Amino acid sequence: MKVLFWTQQYWPYIGGVEVLSRHFIAELRAKGIEFFVVTGHGNLDLPDEDEMDGVPIYRFRFLQALGARDAGEILRIRRRVADLKQRLQPDIVHFNLSDPSLFFHLQTDVPHISSLVSIQLALPPTVADERTLLGQALRKSDWITANSGAILDDLRKIAPDTAAHSSLVYNGYPLPTTPGTALPFNPPQLMCIGRLVEEKGFDLMLSALPTLLARFPTLRLTIAGDGKARFALEMQAAELGVGDAVDFVGWVNPEGVPELLNQSTLVVMPSRWREAFGLVALQAAQMARPVVATRVGGLPEVVRHGKSGLIVEPESPSALAEAVTQLLARPDEAREMGQRARHWSQTQFGWERYVNAYQCLYTRLAQAQEL
Amino acid sequence: MMSSETRFIPNTSEVAAEVLDGEAVLINLTNGMYYSLVGTGGFIWSLLEGGANVNEIVSALVVQYEVKAEQAEKDVRQLIDDLKTEALITDSNQEGGALPSDAPAQRQPYEVPSLKVYSDMQALLALDPPMPDLTDAPWKQPNAKA
């Protein structure tokens, strides 16, 4: 079976989806499925055609052409994609939906190739409109997966006609080889990991910090990641007088994330936007870290309130401070939550379950095309 | 009702349009709406760009595609209505240009032309990219090609 795996960015980019995709492809290749990756160029200077881990990579300047409204370049890319599909003859195109490169997939639709769309982002209500790219693509796909119940519910509410060809597949993540260590409480260490953009709400965590430092003077906060909000966050920390308690460590190599998580007492995910899933919450759970997260998107499904962490309302530094205080003041409760989180990370969000779910879907879609 | 003699021109002050391999992409630069025309749609767009009127387009379609004139005229009028509704073309007083004169050895299968609209492209492009500020890989994979 041949799968053309389409994703906005791929290794060496290292967002949650990018790293997950690389592990996922390696796992299914070991089961005999042949993969090709179609992806965007991003900002790095990378070749159009490449190979990583034995997987052919085809890069296109999708977003650059669409963003520049360059109709000629759009058509040239469209032709290259059509030629590629024709040459590779995949059984399935597996599109990971997070960007408008979907336009090029839809424009090069081939009847005998099955189309699987995995939704990795909160859907806008405009999906209901058939004059939208998302609306057309989702209705035309042979199958749709959502990575959380919240996103699947959104899809079925916005576009009820997709109910018969959509299902939930929770994200999984390979269990790291590094074992989880004991939670440190002296000093307590908070961790935020992700892109430094407004939507992640790391500014809310900084706003909660003065209250927390009054109760736990030795507390430290590490913010791992980078992005356009970094300067503003550094300024905010300085203005709040908490700069000495905050470490901005930049991007962290994916291989180093488990070790980083091991340094934390708990992980905070103060997101404002509807996180489709929240992969960092799963990674934290794997390392037996309790998580304080906001009630947005799929996060309350990954973090079970009162069991594996605490869920708070978004946009509330005081709610964040209260939840963090509760866990830091009751170390036994925090440790128990971490252990339960670790257990669920291996059962409900297990890696093998995730890989098997897609292997079954691939098989079913390929067989349906043969009938 | 539009006259069969009316000619049209692309609304070039607001619309960027290109045709390649008979397929057209149109972008309204004012509101960010994206459109595409494939197959017969791309063929008709090329004729409209050349200043053809409805009669001339229908004649060309009948020569190139397996379609009767009545069906072709109905479809062309519908497409032109759609293009005008989206402000992609306007009426023109200019003379028409050259039309394809050679009949193909075999006419192509006909599909009703349709204008595909992608009204959410701007919203999708505004989504934050995963690593927007990354201009160099902070680490390298050992077996990655340079």
Q: For chain A, give every domain's residue range.
A: 2-172+350-370, 189-346
Of residues A12, A75, A133, nearest to B25 (C-beta): A75
Of residues A8, A121, A228, nearest to B133 (C-beta): A228
Sign of CA dihedral B44, B113, A126, A10: negative
Do the first three CATH levels of A2-172+350-370 and A189-346 match, i.e. the same topology? yes
Of residues B137, B140, B145, nearest to A50 (C-beta): B145
Relative to beta strand B34-37, strand B116-118 is antiparallel
- Asked if A131 and B118 come within 8 Å (Cβ–Cβ), the reply is yes
3-state secondary structure of B36: strand
Distances (CA, A) of A86 to A6, A48, A113, A141, A338: 15, 18, 10, 19, 49
Instruction: Give the span between the Cα atoms of A321 and A266, in whole angstroms.
Output: 13
Q: Is A13 on the interface with B (CB under 8 A)?
A: yes
The complex's ipTM works out to 0.81
Burial of A319 (0-12, 13-18, 19+ CB in 10 A): buried
Give pLDDT tens digits for A117-139: 999 888 888 888 889 999 999 99
Spell out the per-residue pLDDT of chain A, length 371, in tens: 999 999 988 888 877 778 889 999 999 999 999 999 999 988 888 999 999 999 999 999 999 999 899 999 999 999 999 999 999 999 999 999 878 999 999 989 888 899 999 998 888 888 888 899 999 999 999 999 999 999 999 999 999 999 999 999 999 999 999 999 999 999 999 999 998 999 999 999 999 999 999 999 999 999 999 888 999 999 999 999 999 999 999 988 888 999 999 999 999 999 998 888 999 999 999 999 999 999 999 999 999 999 999 999 999 999 999 999 999 999 999 999 999 999 999 999 999 999 999 999 999 999 987 76
Tell me how close the Cα of B33 comes to any Cα of chain A, in angstroms: 10
3-state secondary structure of A300: helix
Q: Which of residues 125-154 of A touch B (CB under 8 A)?
A: 126, 129, 131-136
Instruction: Give the span between the Cα atoms of A35 and B79, in whole angstroms.
Output: 40
- Asked if B20 and A44 come within 8 Å (Cβ–Cβ), the reply is no
Give the mutation candidate from A57, A121, A195 for the B interface (greatest B CB count, under 10 A): A195
The single-letter code of the amino acid at B143 is N
Burial of B132 (0-12, 13-18, 19+ CB in 10 A): middle
| pLDDT < 70 positions in chain B | 1, 96-101, 128-146
- Asked if B120 and A121 come within 8 Å (Cβ–Cβ), the reply is no
**CATH of the domain spanning A2-172+350-370:** 3.40.50.2000
Q: Is A253 on the interface with B (CB under 8 A)?
A: yes
Q: pLDDT at position A208, please?
A: 98
Distances (CA, A) of A76 to A40, A70, B37, B98: 15, 10, 15, 26
Give pLDDT tens digits for A170-211: 999 999 999 999 999 999 999 999 989 999 999 999 999 999
Between CA B43 and CA B51, with CA B46 as vertex, the angle to 5 degrees is 130
Q: How many CA atoms lie within 13 A of A72 on its CB side?
A: 0
Chain B interface residues (partner A, CB cutoff 8 A):
16-21, 23, 25-27, 29, 32, 34, 36, 38, 116-121, 123-125, 127-141, 143-145
Instruction: Give the span between the Cα atoms of A290 and A82, in whole angstroms.
Output: 47
- Asked if A131 and B38 come within 8 Å (Cβ–Cβ), the reply is no
Q: pLDDT at position B133, please?
A: 47
DSSP H stretches of helix in A108-250: 133-140, 149-158, 202-215, 230-239
CATH match of A189-346 with 1.10.287.610: no
Set of chain A residues whose Cβ sits within 8 Å of the Cβ of B134: 13, 42-44, 226, 251
Give the mutation candidate from A20, A43, A86, A257 for the B interface (greatest B CB count, under 10 A): A43
3-state secondary structure of B27: strand
Token duo for residue A134 = 């998302």
